[in-house]
Amino acid sequence: MKKMFLPLAALCAAALMSMPAEGNASMEQGKRPLQQIPSMEKFQEVSDIVLDKCMACHSRNYDLPFYSRIPGIRQIIEQDYRDGLRAMDLNQELVTAAKDKPVGEVALAKMEWVVLNDTMPPAKFTVVHWGSRLTDKDKETILHWVRSTRAAHYATGMASEQRANEPLQPLPSHVDVDVKKAALGEKLFNDKRLSADGTLACSGCHVYEKAGTDNARFSEGIRRQFGDINAPTMFNAVFNVRQFWDGRAANLQEQAGGPPLNPIEMGCSGWEEIIERLSADAQLTAEAGAIYADGWSGENITDAIAEYEKTLITPNSRFDKWLSGDEAAITAEEAEGYRLFKMYRCASCHVGRSVGGQSFEYMDLKADYFAERGEPLNSDKGLMGFTGNKDDMHRFKVPNLRNVELTHPYMHDGTVATLDESVAVMGRYLSGIPVSDNDRTLIVAFLRTLTGEFQGRTLTGTPVER
C-alpha cells in the first residue's frame, strides 16, 4: 500500500511518543509494541491502520498537522479534531488501553459501527487527502479484530451461535457471592438504622417495586431534603465500570459508603453513630461477628451490602431469551427495534450485558443539551465533578438500560418523563441522527423487551411461570 499519508503518520507517531507513560526504548519505528495476548493477534495491524488514518482527529497530545496552515483546511480540521476527540479518544481507548487489558466493549462497538457504516474518516477529509480512506482490507482487518476480541472477552456464552457476537449480550442468571455476607447485606440494605433519624434505608430510595429507583426526579433524603441528581437503579449495578453518574466510586463497596454519611441522604455523622445503633441489636451483631472477626465497622458494613448487591441482577428478559435462540420471545417489530437501536448508534454506548454502564460520554456530544434545557444544575458537571479535568465537563456514565421501561424519569437531571421522549433526546444530543416517529416507536418497543426477572417475578410484578 502506498503511504500517501506519511507526514501525518509520522506526526501521529511523534505525538504518541510524547505521551508521558511511554518509554522510548520500546519504540520501533514510532509504533508502540503490543502485548501479544491471543485475542490481539490482529491488533498490531489495527493499530497500524489507526495510527495512519485516524489519529489526526482522535488523539489528545496531537498537534494539528502542517497542512492545517493551508487556508480553509484549518477550520475543517480543527472542528473535526474537537468533535472526533469527543466522540472517541482512539489513542486512549484503543492503543493505550490494549497495552495491558482487552479493549473495552464500547470502543469495539464504536469501531464496528463506523466501519460498517463507512463514516470514517469523514468524507470531506478523504477528499482532500487521497489515500486516507479505509481500504476493503483495512475494514476486514478491523471487523475481524472487533469480533474476535468480543468473542474472547465479552461473550457470555449464553447467546445462540447466530447471535454470539452481538454488541448486546445476555445477562447472566447469577454472579458468585459469599452467601452469608449477602444475607447480612440484604438486612443492612433494608435497615433504617443506617440513617440519622431512623426513617430511611437504602431501599427507601432504591425501591424493589420500582425497579430499584424511586420514580422521582430527585430523591427525598432525611428531613425532606432533596439532591439534584436522579437516582439510578441498584439492579445490575454490579456490572457498571464505576458507580454514580460521575463515577466517583470505583466499586459497589466504595459506593455504599456514600449515602449513610451524606448529609442530605441518610445524614449520619460517622460510622460510630451507625455502629452504636446496630450494636444494640444482639442477634444482628452476632451474625456480623460470625462473618467478620472484627465485628461492626464501616468497611464490613459496606462489604456486606456490596456482596448483597451482586445478587440484584435481573436475567431472563424476553430479549435475553431471544439472544439465546428463542425466536418467539420477541415480536418482529421488537426485533426491528433492536436493528434500529444498532443503526441509530445507540448500541455504540449502550453495550454489553447490562446495555450500558461501561463508559462516560458527553451529554452534549452532538448539540448543546444544557443550553437548550436551561436551569443549570450543580450535577451537570458530570465526570468533571469527580476528576476536576475540564475535558470531562458534561460527561456522564452511560446508564444501563435493563428494565428501563420502569426506571423513569430519565437522564441524570430526571427531566425526561417518558421512554419515547428519551429516545428522541438521545437521537438529537448523543447519536446526532434524528429518530423518525415510526422508528422511535419501534425502538421503544425493543427497550421494553429488556425487562427482566427478580425472585420469581418479572420486574413489572407478574409472577414467572416455570
User: 316 or 354: whose CB is closer to ligand HEC?
Assistant: 354
Q: Pick one of 329, 412, 449, 459: the residue that binds ligand HEC (CB under 6 A).
A: 412
Q: Pick one of 15, 168, 330, 398: the residue that binds ligand HEC (CB under 6 A).
A: 398
Q: How far apart are CA 338 and CA 439, in angstroms?
A: 10
Q: CB of 314 within 8 A of CB of 235?
A: yes
Q: Pick one of 11, 98, 111, 323: the residue that binds ligand HEC (CB under 6 A).
A: 111
Q: Pick one of 11, 40, 51, 87: the residue that binds ligand HEC (CB under 6 A).
A: 87
Residue type at position 24: N
Regarding 260 and contact with ligand HEC (CB under 6 A), the answer is yes
Residue 223: all three cell numbers together: 428531613
Q: Which of residues 418-437 bind ligand HEC (CB under 6 A)?
A: 422-423, 426-427, 430-431, 435
Interface region with ligand HEC, contact rule CB under 6 A, candidates 62-70, 97-105, 144-152, 239-247: 239-247
User: Residue 354 CB, nearest distance to ligand HEC (Å)?
Assistant: 9
Radius of gyration of the CA atoms of the chain, in A: 24
Residue type at position 221: G
User: Residue 220 CB, nearest distance to ligand HEC (Å)?
Assistant: 6
Residue 242: all three cell numbers together: 464505576
Interface region with ligand HEC, contact rule CB under 6 A, candidates 169-177, 279-287, 401-409, 455-463: 401-409
Interface region with ligand HEC, contact rule CB under 6 A, candidates 21-29, 61-69, 228-236, 455-463: 228-236
Regarding 112 and contact with ligand HEC (CB under 6 A), the answer is no
Q: Pick one of 13, 15, 16, 57: the residue that binds ligand HEC (CB under 6 A).
A: 57
Regarding 304 and contact with ligand HEC (CB under 6 A), the answer is no
User: 68 or 160: whose CB is closer to ligand HEC?
Assistant: 68
Regarding 404 and contact with ligand HEC (CB under 6 A), the answer is yes
User: Residue 149 CB, nearest distance to ligand HEC (Å)?
Assistant: 15
Nearest to 167 by CA among 144, 148, 150: 150
Tell me how far CA of residue 87 lies from CA of 46, 90, 361, in angstroms.
19, 9, 8
User: 154 or 239: whose CB is closer to ligand HEC?
Assistant: 239
Residue 329: all three cell numbers together: 420471545
Regarding 114 and contact with ligand HEC (CB under 6 A), the answer is yes
Q: Pick one of 59, 149, 316, 348: the residue that binds ligand HEC (CB under 6 A).
A: 348
Q: Pick one of 330, 411, 450, 459: the residue that binds ligand HEC (CB under 6 A).
A: 411
Regarding 241 and contact with ligand HEC (CB under 6 A), the answer is no
Residue type at position 240: N
Regarding 352 and contact with ligand HEC (CB under 6 A), the answer is no
Q: Measure CA 421 to chain center.
A: 21
The residue to which cell 482487518 is assigned: 141
Q: CB of 339 within 8 A of CB of 332?
A: no
Q: Which of residues 133-152 bind ligand HEC (CB under 6 A)?
A: 134
- x-marked contacts with ligand HEC along 266-285 as a string, rule CB under 6 A: x-------------------
Q: Pick one of 345, 373, 402, 448: the residue that binds ligand HEC (CB under 6 A).
A: 345
Nearest to 190 by CA among 227, 223, 234, 151: 234
Longest alpha-carbon distance in the chain? 78
Q: How far apart are CA 34 and CA 385, in angstroms?
A: 33
Q: Measure CA 328 to chain center.
A: 29
Q: Pick one of 16, 95, 159, 237: the residue that binds ligand HEC (CB under 6 A).
A: 237
Classify each residue of 20-32 as buried b or exposed e, where b means 16 or more C-beta atoms within 10 Å of its C-beta: eeeeeeeeeebbb
The residue to which cell 457476537 is assigned: 165
Contacts 24+ apart (CB under 8 A), 453-461: 453/314, 453/315, 453/316, 453/317, 454/208, 454/235, 454/312, 454/313, 454/314, 459/211, 459/235, 459/314, 459/403, 459/406, 460/406, 461/209
Q: Which of residues 187-226 bind ligand HEC (CB under 6 A)?
A: 189, 194, 200, 202, 204-206, 219, 221
Q: Which of residues 5-44 bind ligand HEC (CB under 6 A)?
A: none
Q: Measure CA 236 to chain center.
A: 12
Q: Pick one of 229, 241, 274, 313: the residue that binds ligand HEC (CB under 6 A).
A: 229
